[in-house]
Amino acid sequence: MATKATRNGKIICGLCNAFIDEIQYRSHVAECGMLDKDYEVQPALKVCALCGKEVKDLTQHYGICTGGNNPTNNKYENRQQPTITPIRQQTTPYVSNQTNTKECVICFEMIAENVYADHLDRCDACISGSSSSSKSKPTIRSKQISCFTCSSAVDLSKGSSHTLPCRLHHMYCLKCLQHSMNEYIQSNTVPVCHSTLCDYELSRYDVACLPLEADTIKRLLTCVKSTQRAQCPLCVFYVDFNTMNDFQKHVASCNSENMIPCEYCHCLYNIHRLDDHSRQCRNLSSSQQQQALIDFILPRTKYPLTAQQIRVFIENRKKTHLSLDPHSIVETLAEFGDTFPFEIPTRDCDVCMETCVYDDIFVFGCEESHKLCYGCFENSCTTKMTNNEILTCGLCAYELHEGEIKQLRVADNRKKQFLDYQIQKTFNTYVGGTQGVIRCPNQTCKWVAEARDPNDRFRVQCPMCGNEFCSLCNQQYHFRTTCQQLPEITQRWFFWCNTERGNYWQARAQQDANFRAQLEDYERQKAANIQRNQELAQRYNDLLADENYKAQNCRLCPHCRRVVQHLSGCDLMVCGRNYHGGDQQSGCGNGFNWSQALPYTPIGNTGPQQVANNLPSPEQQKLVVHEGVQCDACHNVVQGIRFDCVHCASLTFCEKCEQRSTLEHSNEIRNQQKPQHVFQLIARSLNGNNGQ
């Protein structure tokens, strides 16, 4: 039998191609080649272990040799040879479904599997010693079989043969094997087990295992057409390799015992990396987790498959509630050979009429739901951009949205080129007509969209840069307040945080000792408030500068009340641009005369004392109850001053919780790298219950 030692001292069995330890190799060959009921070489004559005679049917002879019909003969009749995977170690013969035992072929006793080899030696030696025959009885391990081509006897123990992993496991002497492989090389044909009697096609791994010269194997590999991969005996996955040395390196470095499946994507990871991976994986979408599993399985199947095929196979297992364990998926796919068991849905492209996998078809958002392959999709966009046309569906005038352009399967820089072009064409189309437009106020962003109702105020989140802003004033979006109220609310909040909070609690504590705790808490939090107050001061200074600039350079559109800037040109304006083009900005699209528009009135640069005078005195304040309004911190009905965040859909604090809670909220917003939120001070109950 031809063998090949690996780096870790293991030997490849010439019968089943499993990796076997040297000390266990002889007993393995006896079981694998002579006793396994799932593996049977094609022998010429067999040697009886009882009498030493060479017989054709060893099982039937045992019944005669022992003086009666063997009751177990039915087990050995009409057996078919099953397919054996080249690398995977085969199942043990005669194994009971209930216990790990097997039947001795000499005494027919049920013997424990772990002591079977030792029992066989003792049983055979006992019979050999008690026999009256003087003929030397060879043991099962020295048994000879014949070459499938020339029928000459070959000895397994001398390495003079090689077994190919076809269905019947045909064995060849080295001379016939060398001759047949040379014929395949000379004719440049696909190597098979036997040119006329067995059409099993050799894989790259089968060729690499042949006991031939390295140059012969190298030349023979060029003739191999089979895409079957070799199976690692440790991780039991299938591996692509160029040389046998590559495969042996994989086996030597394979650390399958420390591989644990992720509970989210089911991929196998080293136990030391699993925690870090799981923390990232649990935040992924289910589609991303499934894609990770597909990417893991893709290079590990017995035959190469496409990502779409594996996706269909996984979806089918989900529907039938089967395991998504990678080993289970790979082994199930291996049972189907090189034929995929499910039909992949396909569809013809509406332009080129080529049949494509459905995943390679893009469906447009037009009413007709036109379907183009991604190649035609890209060609359509390229042609329209070359012709200076707005990007549309390849078969109709439906204008492409940003999300659709992002689906193009092109390089990122090419995709960005399409996006920038479409944004500019969209803006030019809108400003050329009377439609209102909304443009992202971020100066580095080019995003623009049509405003269906230019006078409607709503929250806009730019899909390109993520900036959130008000559709009318372009400022940070504000709930429950008008664009005109926001500057004054910002001013009042700055004064409150900077000076008036301390003044208010000092007056409260003087009136009522119960409020001394709030005053002490305010004193403790002074240091923590410094950064928040500095950020608010910067925001307030920017607000004053912006107000002064708008007062000097801007006016109000008479139609939508937007603040509009006029940089150059004649007196005629279209809200959102100059009348003759240029100065592009958000606007409703209506025309007006610049000189007749109302000027913008800024907020006054007042001091904190004026703001403080607008608050009721502490004596009056403790009677105010905001019925039906609960504090989001203490969950009690709000009494005294009510604090509403104008940049959150719903966030309210009472005056006792305000300092600590608004500071925590400020830190959260800072961590999100967003502008600081502003709170509106509501001193009187909106339902009229002011304690009077």
Residues 329 and 362 in one domain: no
Query: How many Cα atoms occupy the beta-carbon half-sphere of 138 within 13 Å?
Result: 12
Write down which residue in 158, 184, 200 finishes a domain.
Answer: 158
Residues 316 and 378 in one domain: no
Q: Give the per-residue pLDDT at 623.
A: 64
Residue 349 backbone zone (phi > 0: left; psi -120 to 50: alpha; other: beta): beta
Mean pLDDT confidence for 32-36: 47
Q: Give the per-residue pLDDT at 126.
A: 55
Q: Which residues are CB-contacts of 388 (< 8 A; sequence separation ≥ 6)? A: none
- Would you place residue 121 in the very low, low, confident or very high pLDDT band (cuts 50, 70, 90)? low
Residues 368 and 406 in one domain: yes
CA dihedral 426, 428, 430, 432 (to 10 degrees): -150
Residues 138 and 286 in one domain: no
Q: How far apart are CA 323 and CA 547, in angstroms?
A: 64
Q: What is the pLDDT of residues 87-109, one digit of tens each?
A: 333 333 333 344 467 666 556 57
What are the two backbone dihedrals, phi and then psi, of residue 449, each rounded to the nearest 5 degrees?
Answer: -145, 160
Write the DSSP symbol of residue 72.
T
Q: Which residues are CB-contacts of 242 (< 8 A; sequence separation ≥ 6)? A: none
Write down which residue in 335, 367, 400 finishes a domain.
Answer: 335
Say if 687 falls within a structural domain. Answer: no
- Would you place residue 189 in the very low, low, confident or very high pLDDT band (cuts 50, 70, 90)? very high
Task: Say if residue 341's pLDDT is above 70.
Answer: yes
Residues 149 and 286 in one domain: no
Say if 348 falls within a structural domain. Answer: no
Residues 60 and 152 in one domain: yes
- Residue with tokens 């609690």, as numbered in its chain: 505
Task: Say if residue 143's pLDDT is above 90.
Answer: no
Residues 484 and 516 in one domain: yes
Write down which residue in 372, 391, 413 finishes a domain.
Answer: 413
Residue 78 backbone zone (phi > 0: left; psi -120 to 50: alpha; other: beta): left
Read off the tokens for 87.
Answer: 């690398």
How far, rounded to the nearest angstrom, does the alpha carbon of residue 519 sit from its chain's CA centroid? 53
Residues 501 and 625 in one domain: yes
Say if 616 falls within a structural domain. Answer: yes
What domain range is 109 assigned to? 10-158
| pTM of the full structure | 0.41
Residues 606 and 501 in one domain: yes
Residues 282 and 394 in one domain: no
Task: Say if residue 445's pLDDT is above 60.
Answer: yes
Q: How far apart are CA 600 and CA 483, in angstroms?
A: 13
171 SS3 class: strand
Q: How far apart are CA 427 and CA 440, in angstroms?
A: 12
Query: How many Cα atoms occupy the beta-carbon half-sphere of 473 within 13 Å?
Result: 16
Q: What is the pLDDT of residues 458-505, one digit of tens each?
A: 888 887 788 889 888 888 899 989 888 888 898 888 888 888 888 888
- Would you place residue 297 in the very low, low, confident or very high pLDDT band (cuts 50, 70, 90)? very high
Residues 260 and 392 in one domain: no
Say if 135 falls within a structural domain. Answer: yes
CA dihedral 535, 539, 541, 547 (to 10 degrees): 180
Say if 246 falls within a structural domain. Answer: no
486 SS3 class: helix
- Would you place residue 542 in the very low, low, confident or very high pLDDT band (cuts 50, 70, 90)? confident
What are the two backbone dihedrals, phi and then psi, of residue 408, each rounded to the nearest 5 degrees?
Answer: -60, 135
Task: Say if residue 152's pLDDT is above 80.
Answer: yes
Task: Say if residue 691's pLDDT is above 60.
Answer: no
Residues 109 and 144 in one domain: yes
Q: How far apart are CA 128 and CA 139, in angstroms?
A: 10
Q: Based on the structure, what is the number of domains in the chain?
A: 4
